[in-house]
Structures are given as C-alpha cells and as structure tokens.
Chain A
Amino acid sequence: MLLAAIILVTPFLIRGSWDTVGKEPFLLDRLSKDFLLQGKQAQDTLSFSGRPWSYPLGTVLVAATLKKIASPFFVLLILPLLLGILTAGLFYASINHLHQNKKVAFIATILLVISPSFIYTFVFLKEFTIPLFLAMLAGHLLICRKHLAAYLFLALMAGFGIEHFIIALVMLFLARTPEQKTKATIATLLILILGMVLYFPLLFQYGLPELFSFEQRNPLFNIFSDFGSRFGISIFLIFLAFFGLKEFWKEKYTHSRMYTALAILMLLTIIKASFIIYATFLLALLSALGMLYLFNARWESRTIKDLTIFILILGLLFSAISFLNNYENAQPSPELVESLQSLSQVSSPEEVILSHYSYGIWINSIASRKNVMDEKAFYAPQVNERFQDIEELFQSRNLERTQTLLKKYQIAYIYITPEMKQGRVWQSEEQGLLFVLKFSQDEFTRIYHQNGIEIWKVRT
C-alpha cells in the first residue's frame, strides 16, 4: 500500500504541480459541476455542439455528491489516490486469502501497482477509478464468502457504465457456487434489470449507437503501454503471465474459472481495449506465479537464470518508469489552458469552436464552449459524417467549400495548436485550411497567436 501511494504520487512530483492533466478528469469535473447545478440533463449542450447525455452516471453522481462536501481537488486528485491505495490493499488481501501464500500476494500486488493501467486509473479521477475499486471490493467479499455485500457492490458497478455492468455480470457468473446458486441467480437478474433501466431508455430513444470507423488503431497499440497506449500493460507482464499460466496448467482444470475469466477478459479487450484495465488484475496474479515459477524452476545455468529474471524485472520497471515519465509533459500545458481561457473570454457561450477532435473535451471543459467533435463518440450525432466533414474542412483549399462546411456546423472560431501543424492534422504550413486562413484575410481574423497556438475568428 505504501508502494501504491508512492507510485500514485510520483506523477505529481515529476510534473512539480498538482494541476489536472488528461481529458477524463476535465470531462468528469465539468459533468459533475453541471450535475450539481442542473441535475441530470437529457442533453449535453457543449459536446458535439449538443448530444444525448450518455456518460457514466455513477462516477458523475459520486463526484457531484462529494463536491458538495469537499473541494474539487479532493474529488479529482485525493479520492482516486485513496481508492488506488485501498484497491492495492484489497488485491493483496484477496490473493493472500486465495493462495495462502504471502509471497505470491506480495509480488502480485507489486506487479499490479507498477502496471501502467493501474497508474492510469488511479492518478486523477477517471471513468474506471470508482468501478474498478468496487469490482475489487466485490471480488474480495466474494472470496471472503460475504456474498450479499458483494452482490450489492456488483449491482452498484452497473451504474458506472456498460463495460462495468458487463464485468459485474462476468464476476457473478464466475463466482457462482452450488450453495449460492439461487442467491447468485437473483442477484444476476437484479443487475440485469438495473442495467436495462439504466441503458435501455437510451437505446429506445436513439437506437443503436453509430459505429465510428475513424482512427481504428491496431489493438496492440491500446493493449501495451510500450506501444503508446494510454492505459495498457507492459509487454513483459504478458510474458511472465504466460509462465504463470503454465504453472496453473500443472493442475489442469482445477483453475477452470481462472481460464474462463482470462478468456472472457481477452475477448472483451479485443472488442474494447479499456477492458485491459480489468485484465491487469488477473495478469498481475499470473505474472507473480510466473515469476515464482522462474525463481523455483531448475535452471541448467544459474547465470542465465539470474540474468533472465533481472531482465524481466527491468522490463517491468522500464514500462512503469516510461509511463510515469509521460506525465512530465502531459497535456494540457499551461499555454494550452491559457489560450483556452482567452478563447472563453473572446467568445460567447453559444458559439462553436473547430479544432482537432482530440482538443474537444478541453474546449468544453476549460473554455466552456461548444466543440464540433470530441473523443467521446458514444451516441454522438453523425460521428462519421462529422469526422469526414472536418477532415475535408482541414484539408480543403477551396474557400467556398470551407465556408459551406463552416456554416453547416455554425463554426465561429478555429483553434489551432502546434501539434496540429506538426502532423496531427497538417504536414506543411500551407496545407488545406492553413492556406485558406493565410490568404483569405477578409473571411478570417487571427485574434490570438501565442506559443504557437492560434485562434481564428470566422467573419460572418
């Protein structure tokens, strides 16, 4: 737990500031603020310039409630830190209870705590922070045979988003024992009903969400932090887990629940990469067993044995350090925040801002202005059409077409960052919209130009 605390505080020490970074904390902060002021709304007026409110209610509700009694600093920073420490503690206790082996529990907890997905989840409030803690708590209660309390927490998980609702059902399915069969079935039904109550209205009202076809990345990108994933795991954890699985397989089908859980989680991870955060718990346990297997196995060469284990440990540490190091230059930078605050001052609340969709959440949260598009595309209106239109807008040198598209989305300002000019959108200085902006001074005025960030006003 101490290690968890140290690891989770490290990003702040690296940055030398307590300022919020990332996108989810900003989104949750804005949503919880709105929730406190107006309660749950049917529409979010800022994202996609107006879209159905389809965010995880649970986290917003908890954040809003806590904000009544505590500061946003506590909610966004301290709460995740505390939950992270408690999760690590519960994980240790659960493994120790299951395996009756302190060494396995200790190594597994260390592997969990240094995994990038754990660090990602518990540094700042994220969508996964609270449900992950609840899942761990429910898991621990199930292991301790306190089923009723466990069912209650699993039911609570359903309110935090569809992914967590699925995980709650998977956990219930895996925890079924002959003596608990009836109670587990009732709990499953209750959670299913709760899920339906929460998610079916959205389905009935808006139909199935649009599948977005843009930015389809190789799943490996999102699973492994070493390949640039925001929440992935270390590739070395997988190798160790392989040895752990080999160790488990010695007892063949005794651990069939473990195999089932792993298979389900892997399948879910392929469908949605963020499930890897849940899979990390299982992989940490397997990796701990794998590490002990490597320690205890009879090696022909002692030198090779020591070196191999040392390299694997180094690999895990490298992934953790490399991930923590990313916080040093994590966005939004003070310059970005300053420019968005300026944007807020010069524009009115009804006006729409065009930028790359990766800046959408910050435009909503820091500038409190409408964006054309952001990363939360679930149930967003005409996602693919918008994406294609924005792409055309960014790449077209035709003023007429540019104006038509600007009008279509009622865009009043264009927000451009150095990253957008350096490959995220454009490759050269006079490409597409940059050319139009430069040579159509009558139609566009640059009202902000600092630290490479530009804000252009569209003249109507």
Chain B
Amino acid sequence: MKINPAFGLAAILILTLSFRLYLAFSSPYFDSDLAYFNARIIENIIETNKPFSFDPLSYGSRELIHPQLFHYLMSFFSSIPEFMKVLPELFILPLTIIAYFIAKKITRDPLASLITALLVSFSPALLFNTSNQVSVYTLAIPLFYLMLFCLMDIKAGKNLYIFIAASFLLPLIHPISFLFACSILFYLILSGSESLEVESNTKEAVLFSFFLILLINFILFKKAFLLYGLSIIQQNIPPQLLAQHFLPPNIFNSLYLIGLIPLILGSIGVFQGVFKQKDKNIILLTSTLLTIMLLLLLKFIDLSTGLLFFSISLTLIASVAISRIIKYLEITRIHRIKNLMIALGIFLIIAIIIIPAFFSTSKIITPFEISTLQSLARDAAPGATILAPVSQGHLVAYFTQRKNVADSNFILAPSPEQRLQDIKIAYTTISASKALEIFHKYNIQYLFVSKEAQRVYGVSRPSYLDDETCFKQRKSTVYEVKC
C-alpha cells in the first residue's frame, strides 16, 4: 500500500480540525483565563476599530501594552458565526502543513513527514496551550515555523518575500518573536562552531529579521522597556508568581507535555542530524531547542511557552529518527508486514498522544460559576469592583463587565505585588476588619469565592463572611460587601 502524501496530509488536516473543533464546541466557554482577555480586546476592536490601549476594568483601570494584529485579524472575520471558536482552530491548522514540509525538507521521506505532521498536530503541549482558547499562539506558532521553513531554503520561489512579510508580522502578533530572533542568531553561532558555511542569503535574512524584530518590539514596548529595562522579559510578574511561571521544569509534567515519543525520537534526531549528518536544517531547529533551554535557564521565558515551542521543534527533529525507523523496517523481514507496522505505529500514536491530549484540556471555571458572574453583570453597579483570584481576573472582567483587582497581565499594572498580597489576605484572613480594610482600599463591592479561589488559597469560604451585617450572600459563590 502506497500512501498518497496529499491524501495523507488532507486526512491529518481533517482529523486535526475535527478533533480541535470537537474540543472547542464541547463547551460554550473557553478553557483559559487569558482567552477572555483576548476576547475583550477583539470585542473592543469590533466596537471602536481602535487598538485597545486603555483597559477600564483591569486593575481598576490601567494602560495596556499588547501587540494586537491577531485581534484585528479576528475582528475582521467577526461576521463568521462563532468566529472566536472557529478562527483560532483554522489559524493553527497550517502548522500541520508546515510541519509536513519541514519534515520532508529534512528527511525527503513523505511517510515520515506525515507521521511528524500528525505528532505535531496532536502535541499535548500545543493542545494544552491552544485548544478551545482565543490564543494568540494559534497564529504565532504557524508563522514562527513558516519563517524557519522559509529560512531553510531562502532562495527557493517566494520564500524570501514570505520571510520578509512574516518577520514584519510576527512581532506585531506576539513577543515570542524575540525567541525567533535569538534562535536564528544562535543558528549562525552554532553553524560557525560546526564549521558549516551558511549561505549569504540566509545570513542576510537572519540579520534583517533580527533587526526588524528588535525594532518593532522596541517601538511596541517602548514604555515598558523604559520602565522596567531588561526586566521586561520577566513581564513584571510579582515575586509571588515568579516561581510558578519560571519554575524549573517538573520532569514528569514536562515529559507529559512534550510527549514521550517526540522526546525519544527527537533526541535521536538531534544526535543524528547535528553530529552525524551535520544537516543545516536540523541545526536550525536544534538552535531553537538550545535557545529555549538557555532562555528557560536564565528565566527569560516562562515554562509553559518554553515547553510549547520545545515540544514542536523536537517533534520536527524526530522526523529524522522516524524516517530511519521506516527505512530500517524496509530492509528487514518485517518489511512484509510494513503496512501493518505503520498502522500499529499510528494506533500507538493515537493511544499515546491523541487520547491523553483529549484529557489534557483544563476547565478553569464551572458553567454554574459563569452564570453567577453573568447575573452580576445585570445586577451590580456599573463601576463596581469584584475580587477574584488573579488567575480568574480576565474572566471576571469579561463576564461581569466590572472592574477586577488584578489579573495576569502584569506589564504596566499598578502595584501588582501588593495587590496579589492583598487578594491572598482577603481570602485567607479570619479578621473581618482586615478584610474590610482591603475591600475599602480597592473599592471592592463583591467577593467571588470560586472553586479556583478555594484551590489556590486552600479555604472553602472565608470565615468572616458569616457576619451578615457586613456581607450578604448574593449567589452561592458571590458575596456583597455592605459595610
């Protein structure tokens, strides 16, 4: 049986899209707090046609710095029904095609490339970070790997012009463009150390892209750079949350997100490609891996983003090992049952990758809690402030259209460290006067005691809420501050 690559790729695309759409529509809500932040930006753009530079709800009200090309693109297609559910799933789809072509470029083996494309499409880290979410990554990741693909053969066709255009677009979509800039610079260094002659075109493209990404980011984040200097890399994340964002990778969690197959095959691929074949394309992908590792080590990139790009790059390199396994099978007796072996391999991938991926999605809020928040949107005074855990700040602002005390966007946020400390005290203190002091300080009218709050702060319900003269239970999880 000879698999037609186009047919195979189309099948993977259909499978990926169906799976992702199934996940997206299995819940009327999104699976991350950040999705609601992006949704608010998009809705604001639809309403005003202007960039969302001032958020009246976040941290009481604050200035906002955020690249918004993704949001503009989303708003452009806002006439499509359920566009916030459908479009991100369509944006991420080209990654499957790009992964196929990158793997084909490395291995020249259509079957290995198809398997690689399948592995990339169902990478647990990718699904965890992008499925059922209005995530900027759904556009940034395909663009990131498209640029790497163009760089692999910059002379071919329109690759140069695609690369130029993508270099301009990526920093307008996400600051992850810095990772790209560092990776390609690292590639030049790595090639030099391996005495590999990099083509002039590639060098020129690298230089151009590096400077362009740097300039656009300087322009976009000018205020933040002036305020925080190089510390901007850590996004002004308060010390209480730094450990959570930049934690040294937990080996089991990382293994789960990267996937065991990509990790083993990817490591073999790095060894084969860099040390034996000295393949420039593999060195380019390896430099992405090394840059991520270096940035993770220096705590310049958060763990979740690092693992996401690490897993995709490693899976792409795994194509080398996959191709070798297929070739090996062809020269053994097993060759006779090659098709069965391939079928078994695909079944294994489904069993090891796709099924766990199905369960890897997380639910950050229950539908009941959302309906509670929606009722607040109707009942609460327009200028009211609602206290919620920082991990639900965007969600509260989205559903209630009321102010939050803090959320996960810390750049230019007013006193995030103090606010986080105060939020923790408000949920954990037994003193009503202490809690009231905090409520008055931030002009808080409602306290949201969600499951997430119970999990984060380890309390089912602050005991001071028993004082009915000052606190009135509005819904089972929302309390009104009356004093």
Given A304-B160, A422-B414, A428-B418, A226:B218 Cβ within 8 A: yes
A101 contacts B by Cβ under 8 Å: no
Distance in Å: Cβ of B211 to nearest Cβ of chain A? 5
Interface string of B209-222 (1 = CB under 8 A from A): 00110110011001
- Range of interface residues on A (Cβ < 8 Å): 20 to 34
* A429 contact from B208, B211, B214, B441, Cβ within 8 A: B441
B207 contacts A by Cβ under 8 Å: yes
A307 touches B229 (CB 8 A): no
**B-chain residues with CB within 8 Å of residue A226 when the two chains form the complex:** 218, 225
**B-chain residues with CB within 8 Å of residue A422 when the two chains form the complex:** 414-415
In the complex the two chains form, what is the Cα distance from A303 to B212 in whole Å?
14
* B229 contact from A218, A315, A427, Cβ within 8 A: A218
B204 contacts A by Cβ under 8 Å: yes
Q: Report B32-64 residues with CB < 8 Å from chain A CB.
A: none
A239 touches B225 (CB 8 A): no
Q: Report A69-116 residues with CB < 8 Å from chain B CB.
A: none
Q: Report A312-340 residues with CB < 8 Å from chain B CB.
A: 312, 314-315, 318, 322, 326
* A228 contact from B208, B215, B229, Cβ within 8 A: B229
A305 contacts B by Cβ under 8 Å: yes
Q: Report A207-231 residues with CB < 8 Å from chain B CB.
A: 217-218, 220-221, 226-228
Interface string of B396-428 (1 = CB under 8 A from A): 000000000000000000110110001000000
* B219 contact from A220, A318, A427, A429, Cβ within 8 A: A318
Given A423-B415, A430-B441, A301:B201 Cβ within 8 A: yes
A299 contacts B by Cβ under 8 Å: yes
**B-chain residues with CB within 8 Å of residue A428 when the two chains form the complex:** 415, 418, 422, 441
B230 contacts A by Cβ under 8 Å: yes
In the complex the two chains form, what is the Cα distance from A291 to B465 in whole Å?
68
Given A221-B230, A427-B418, A227:B201 Cβ within 8 A: no
In the complex the two chains form, what is the Cα distance from A299 to B160 in whole Å?
14
In the complex the two chains form, what is the Cα distance from A427 to B406 in whole Å?
14
Given A318-B218, A427-B415, A427-B417, A301:B204 Cβ within 8 A: yes
Q: Report A106-139 residues with CB < 8 Å from chain B CB.
A: none
Residue of A whose beta carbon sits closest to that of B415:
A427
In the complex the two chains form, what is the Cα distance from A169 to B200 in whole Å?
44
B205 contacts A by Cβ under 8 Å: yes
Interface string of A183-215 (1 = CB under 8 A from B): 000000000000000000000000000000000
In the complex the two chains form, what is the Cα distance from A430 to B225 in whole Å?
29
A444 contacts B by Cβ under 8 Å: no
Distance in Å: Cβ of B66 to nearest Cβ of chain A? 19
**A-chain residues with CB within 8 Å of residue B208 when the two chains form the complex:** 304, 307-308, 311
A420 contacts B by Cβ under 8 Å: no
A235 contacts B by Cβ under 8 Å: yes
Distance in Å: Cβ of B225 to nearest Cβ of chain A? 6
In the complex the two chains form, what is the Cα distance from A329 to B345 in whole Å?
65
A26 contacts B by Cβ under 8 Å: no
Interface string of A394-431 (1 = CB under 8 A from B): 00000000000000000000000000001100011111
**A-chain residues with CB within 8 Å of residue B370 when the two chains form the complex:** none
* B212 contact from A220, A301, A311, A326, Cβ within 8 A: A311
**A-chain residues with CB within 8 Å of residue B228 when the two chains form the complex:** 228
A312 touches B164 (CB 8 A): no
* A315 contact from B214, B230, B441, Cβ within 8 A: B214
Given A226-B225, A322-B222, A430-B441, A303:B215 Cβ within 8 A: no
Distance in Å: Cβ of B361 to nearest Cβ of chain A? 36
**B-chain residues with CB within 8 Å of residue A385 when the two chains form the complex:** none
B298 contacts A by Cβ under 8 Å: no
**B-chain residues with CB within 8 Å of residue A239 when the two chains form the complex:** 211
Given A239-B211, A318-B219, A427-B415, A308:B441 Cβ within 8 A: no
Distance in Å: Cβ of A220 to nearest Cβ of chain B? 5
In the complex the two chains form, what is the Cα distance from A305 to B207 in whole Å?
10
Residue of B whose beta carbon sits closest to that of A220:
B230
Residue of B whose beta carbon sits closest to that of A315:
B215
A165 contacts B by Cβ under 8 Å: no
Given A220-B230, A423-B415, A236:B211 Cβ within 8 A: yes
* B205 contact from A227, A304, A311, Cβ within 8 A: A304
A304 touches B215 (CB 8 A): no
B156 contacts A by Cβ under 8 Å: no
B211 touches A312 (CB 8 A): yes
Given A301-B201, A303-B160, A428-B441, A235:B230 Cβ within 8 A: no
In the complex the two chains form, what is the Cα distance from A227 to B207 in whole Å?
22
Q: How many residues of B contact A (CB 8 A)?
A: 31
In the complex the two chains form, what is the Cα distance from A82 to B445 in whole Å?
60
Distance in Å: Cβ of A384 to nearest Cβ of chain B? 23
A300 contacts B by Cβ under 8 Å: yes
B325 contacts A by Cβ under 8 Å: no
B331 contacts A by Cβ under 8 Å: no
In the complex the two chains form, what is the Cα distance from A322 to B222 in whole Å?
8
Distance in Å: Cβ of B472 to nearest Cβ of chain A? 26
**A-chain residues with CB within 8 Å of residue B6 when the two chains form the complex:** none
Distance in Å: Cβ of B278 to nearest Cβ of chain A? 23
* A227 contact from B215, B230, B441, Cβ within 8 A: B230
A228 touches B222 (CB 8 A): no
**A-chain residues with CB within 8 Å of residue B218 when the two chains form the complex:** 226, 235, 315, 318
Interface string of B152-174 (1 = CB under 8 A from A): 00000000110010000000000
B200 touches A299 (CB 8 A): yes
In the complex the two chains form, what is the Cα distance from A307 to B422 in whole Å?
50
**A-chain residues with CB within 8 Å of residue B222 when the two chains form the complex:** 322
Interface string of B462-477 (1 = CB under 8 A from A): 0000000000000000
In the complex the two chains form, what is the Cα distance from A426 to B227 in whole Å?
16
In the complex the two chains form, what is the Cα distance from A381 to B133 in whole Å?
58
In the complex the two chains form, what is the Cα distance from A326 to B226 in whole Å?
10
In the complex the two chains form, what is the Cα distance from A421 to B218 in whole Å?
28
**A-chain residues with CB within 8 Å of residue B422 when the two chains form the complex:** 428
**A-chain residues with CB within 8 Å of residue B205 when the two chains form the complex:** 301, 304
* B211 contact from A217, A308, A423, A431, Cβ within 8 A: A308
Distance in Å: Cβ of A192 to nearest Cβ of chain B? 38
Interface string of B323-367 (1 = CB under 8 A from A): 000000000000000000000000000000000000000000000
A227 touches B164 (CB 8 A): no
In the complex the two chains form, what is the Cα distance from A428 to B222 in whole Å?
26
**A-chain residues with CB within 8 Å of residue B199 when the two chains form the complex:** 300
**B-chain residues with CB within 8 Å of residue A220 when the two chains form the complex:** 229-230
Residue of B whose beta carbon sits closest to that of A222:
B229
Distance in Å: Cβ of B429 to nearest Cβ of chain A? 16
Given A226-B225, A228-B229, A304:B211 Cβ within 8 A: no
In the complex the two chains form, what is the Cα distance from A221 to B225 in whole Å?
10
B418 touches A228 (CB 8 A): no
**A-chain residues with CB within 8 Å of residue B200 when the two chains form the complex:** 299-300
Distance in Å: Cβ of A59 to nearest Cβ of chain B? 28
Distance in Å: Cβ of B117 to nearest Cβ of chain A? 30
B418 touches A318 (CB 8 A): no
Given A226-B225, A304-B164, A427-B418, A235:B204 Cβ within 8 A: no
Residue of A whose beta carbon sits closest to that of B168:
A307
B230 touches A305 (CB 8 A): no
* A303 contact from B164, B231, B417, Cβ within 8 A: B164
Residue of A whose beta carbon sits closest to that of B201:
A300
The 13 sampled A-B contact pairs (Cβ below 8 Å) are A218-B231, A228-B226, A300-B199, A303-B164, A304-B207, A305-B204, A315-B211, A318-B219, A326-B226, A423-B415, A428-B418, A428-B441, A431-B418
A-B residue pairs, 6 tightest by C-beta: A427-B418, A427-B415, A227-B229, A221-B229, A228-B226, A308-B208
Q: Which residues of B contact A (CB under 8 A)?
A: 160-161, 164, 199-201, 204-205, 207-208, 211-212, 214-215, 218-219, 222, 225-231, 414-415, 417-418, 422, 437, 441
| Contacts beyond the supplied A235-B214, A318-B219, A427-B417: 5 A-B pairs with Cβ under 8 Å | A299-B204, A300-B200, A307-B164, A311-B211, A431-B418
